Amino acid sequence: MAMQNKNFIGIDLGGTNIKIGCLSANMKLLWKISIPTNAQMGPAIVIDRIVDAIKETANKKNIPLKTIKAIGIGTPGPAKYSQGIITRCSNLPKFTNVPISKILKKKLGRPVILENDANAACFGEFVVGVGRNIKNMVFFTLGTGIGAGIISDGKLLYGSGDNAAELGHTIVNINGRLCSCGQHGCAEAYASATNTAKRATEAIEAGAKSSLKKVLNKNGQITSKDVYEHLAKGDKLAKKITDETAEVLAVLCINSLHYVEPEKIVFAGGMIAAGKPLLDRIKYYFKQHIWKIKQENTVEICFATLGEDAGIIGAAALARET
């Protein structure tokens, strides 16, 4: 009896992989697995595979299903999160108007909450990562795009229709670079991992000298990882591209400070593998651009600490809130 209803499942449903974790009430990770999404199989099969994976792993780890109190699931937006419905999702092409919370609840007999994946990761960092002991936090994931989440007064900020904190699409350069969303001058159009690499490619194609040119010729493309590797080797173009990325991220930090005044601004996602050279540059440009009228710039800019577990931890922590 003591084992009943004390654990939580967190699911991070991405376009490539589905990560699933089982966490205790104090958010200790009891087990985690990762399975390929195979989104092309369609939602019915994908959801069945999630259910089977949970049941099998619960059994194998000897932490029975009856100990699970609730389930949280994070997916890319846009979605009708509060209704538990994935409306459409570029990374999950066959998922159109899928009431995933309802289906999972029926199959597993537990309450299910659906959340934006960046919000879930943000909440994970807030509850057990770098956001412990603070009440206001802004969180960015730097990947293909720039995902974001806002914690205001201890809670995720949702807005009027569950789609607040689309901070990658805030405009930092009016009439600037075209973004995939159709706007001009979005932060994401410059500073996502994909657009960092893309700007390097464009510069080389326009004739800029760089050791990255060999990579482009060999692989047919440049990644943000390539940019940071060549930055470490002293390549001037890699430095210029990294500076531009950091400057845009610094302006995102300044605007976030002026909107919601967080104690911490946290960067996560693949691109933080660039490490200290990137973080130091963001802090440098933050100091260059921030207003001079206030001395008390107490916001801390830092990297996330939970890595790819943030999503499942956050989803489980949100399930615990219900």
Closest CB 212 distance from a second copy, rounded Å: 24
Please, which residue, 70 or 179, has the CB nearer to a second copy? 179
CA gap 311, 150 in Å, rounded: 15
Q: Does 76 sit behind a cis peptide bond, omega within 30 degrees of 0 on the bond before it?
A: no
Asked whether position 171 contacts a second copy by CB under 8 A, the answer is: yes
Tell me the three state secondary structure of residue 118. Answer: helix
- Among the listed residues 160, 207, 234, 276, the single contact to a second copy using CB under 8 A: 160
Applying the rule CB under 8 A, the residues between 2 and 21 that interact with a second copy are: none
Min dist. Cβ of residue 247 to a second copy (A): 7
What is the rounded CA–CA span in Å between residue 307 and residue 38? 23
Query: By CB under 8 A, is residue 133 in contact with a second copy?
Result: no
161 in contact with a second copy (CB under 8 A): yes
Q: Say if CB 142 and CB 192 are below 8 A apart.
A: yes
Give the number of residues in contact with a second copy, rule: CB under 8 A. 48
Q: Which of 31, 290, 302, 308 binds a second copy (CB under 8 A)?
A: 290
State which residue, 267 or 286, has the beta carbon closest to a second copy.
286
Q: How far apart are the first and last CA of the chain?
A: 21
For a second copy, the binding residue among 163, 229, 270, 305 (CB under 8 A) is: 163
> Hey, what amino acid is at 275?
G
Q: Between residues 115 and 235, which has the closer beta carbon with respect to a second copy?
A: 115
68-75: strand order across its sheet: 29-36, 17-24, 7-13, 68-75, 112-116
Contacts of 137 (CB under 8 A, 6+ apart): 122, 125, 126, 131, 150, 151, 262, 263, 264, 265, 266
Closer to a second copy at the Cβ: 111 or 176? 176
Binding site for a second copy (CB under 8 A): 78, 134-136, 150, 152-153, 157-161, 163-167, 169-174, 176, 179, 181-184, 247-248, 251, 254-255, 258-263, 289-294, 296, 298
